[in-house]
Amino acid sequence: MLKRILQRTLLPAVLLLAAACGGRRTTLLADFDRAVYTPGYASGFEIAGAAGRASTIIRVRSPWQGAEGVETALYIARDGEEAPEGFDGQVLRGDARRIVCLSSTHVAMLDALGADSTIVGVSGIDYLSNPYVAANRDRIGDVGYEGNIDYERLLSLEPDLVLLFGIGGASSLEPKLRELGVPFLYVGEYLEESPLGKAEWMVAVGEAIGRREEAEALFAGIPERYNVWRERVAGKGLKAPRVMLNAPYGDTWFMASTGSYVARLIADAGGDYLYRRNTGDTSLPIDLEEAALLLSEADVWIHAGSFATLDELRARLPKLADVRCVRTGSVWNCDRRTNAAGGNDYWESGIVHPDLVLRDLILIFHPELAALSEEGDTLVYYRKIE
């Protein structure tokens, strides 16, 4: 009798417990407290997981300028797992296999990961330098630009994921993508001031396509090569050339901050960036008179506009024709790899190859170090304006 009573009372409880423990497919958001990947250089993302779960969450912090305190998230559902209770971000069912890229840097990251075949849509296909995109224009759709997106075309591409960016606010695509049920991920590499931080976003993209470990291994070699070149300069006691940056835009000359991406590259390459007054987080405009005074002190001028030759520069900017770096021909631009439509690979693949960009600048500032390079003095992204 006692045995039958225990069976009637304990068996349902055991079955209920088993169902609760073994059958539960959802988790709580708080369970995703395991650091799957914590960036060493980038500040804008992290990848989190939960014990015993294959799914992960890519969290993106401050996804656009002025978005302090804003966080977006993409849950990558694997092995049939559901999004955790309390999660209100985007949900990607399995690893992305069909991706629309709204920035050329997204294309470069997928290409670096050997995943360019996942690209089914882009923005501004004519301006892209990527060889795979150029060779597959018949199967890769151009969805247009921010503010003028062809949503019918975008939907026809059947994307698993859209890679977004926001400038000064959320992307205008976000509400429509939510309405259409197309998941998206903000990729905020452009907000990173660290050259290595920009490149590290390839790990977040790698997670979205199920290749995080490959992305980690690929990225690990970039800081190694970057630091080898930086240490070659730092250990030589070389004189730092004074460096002027950019060219006039109308009557204004924009100068990067001392903590910016390009200023850090200049410093790591052993250069001395002349404009020290801007210590903020955006470029500041100065007038042409102040720019001319700075340029008169410069040994090297880089990012010097779209001039094809020095004669063209002198004709269009006659007041700068006699400054020393123009007279000596030490004027450079980062347009060596520009396609017929004007798309510049410096702003595409250069973002995922900061080690090559740094090497270019070192050979410009310190040409005597060319002997330390297996490629000699051949530059990848920069061109001397002659």
User: Tens of pLDDT along the chain (386 residues)?
Assistant: 434 434 444 444 433 333 344 444 568 999 999 999 999 999 999 999 999 999 999 999 999 988 999 999 999 999 999 999 999 999 999 999 999 999 999 999 999 999 999 999 999 999 999 999 999 999 999 999 988 999 999 999 999 999 999 998 999 999 999 999 999 999 999 999 999 999 999 999 999 999 999 999 999 999 999 999 999 999 778 999 999 999 999 889 999 999 999 999 999 999 999 999 998 888 999 999 999 999 999 999 999 998 999 999 999 999 999 999 999 999 999 999 999 999 999 999 999 999 999 999 999 999 999 887 777 779 999 999 99
Same domain, yes or no: 182 and 301: no
Q: Is residue 21 one of the residues assigned to a domain?
A: no
- Burial readout 224-255 (b: 16 or more C-beta within 10 A, e: otherwise): eebeebbebbeeeeeebbbbbbbbbeeeebbb
Q: Is residue 62 one of the residues assigned to a domain?
A: yes
pLDDT given for residue 25 in this prediction: 53
Same domain, yes or no: 248 and 173: no
**DSSP string for 300-320:** EEES-TT-SSHHHHHHH-GGG
User: CA-CA distance, 299 to 306, in Å (whole number)?
Assistant: 20
Cβ-proximal residues to 150 (8 Å cutoff; 6+ apart), any chain: 143, 144
Task: From 222, 247, 272, give the residue that closes a domain.
Answer: 222
Same domain, yes or no: 244 and 215: no
User: CA-CA distance, 151 to 23, in Å (whole number)?
Assistant: 40
pLDDT given for residue 26 in this prediction: 61
Same domain, yes or no: 80 and 108: yes
Same domain, yes or no: 155 and 301: no
User: CA-CA distance, 209 to 287, in Å (whole number)?
Assistant: 46
The HSE-up count of residue 196 (CA atoms within 13 Å, CB side) is: 16
User: CA-CA distance, 383 to 309, in Å (whole number)?
Assistant: 11
Contact 130, 105 (CB under 8 A): no
Which pairing describes strands 161-164 and 99-101: parallel, antiparallel, or unpaired? Answer: parallel
Residue written as token pair 């923005």? 123
Same domain, yes or no: 308 and 208: no
Task: From 165, 195, 222, give the residue that closes a domain.
Answer: 222
Q: Is residue 120 one of the residues assigned to a domain?
A: yes
| Of 368, 350, 355, the residue nearest 105 (C-alpha) | 350
Same domain, yes or no: 156 and 38: yes
Q: Is residue 161 one of the residues assigned to a domain?
A: yes
For residue 314, the enclosing domain spans 236-384
Task: From 222, 245, 279, give the residue that closes a domain.
Answer: 222
The pTM (predicted TM-score) of the whole model is 0.91
Q: Is residue 168 one of the residues assigned to a domain?
A: yes
pLDDT given for residue 323 in this prediction: 94
Same domain, yes or no: 275 and 368: yes
Same domain, yes or no: 147 and 240: no
Helix (H) or strand (E) holding 175: helix 174-180
Same domain, yes or no: 51 and 178: yes
| CATH number of 309's domain | 3.40.50.1980
Structure tokens belonging to residue 142: 């151009």
User: CA-CA distance, 71 to 77, in Å (whole number)?
Assistant: 19
- Work out how many domains the chain is built from and give that number: 2
The HSE-up count of residue 90 (CA atoms within 13 Å, CB side) is: 28
Same domain, yes or no: 297 and 196: no
pLDDT given for residue 11 in this prediction: 41
Q: Is residue 205 one of the residues assigned to a domain?
A: yes
Same domain, yes or no: 182 and 272: no
Q: Is residue 142 one of the residues assigned to a domain?
A: yes
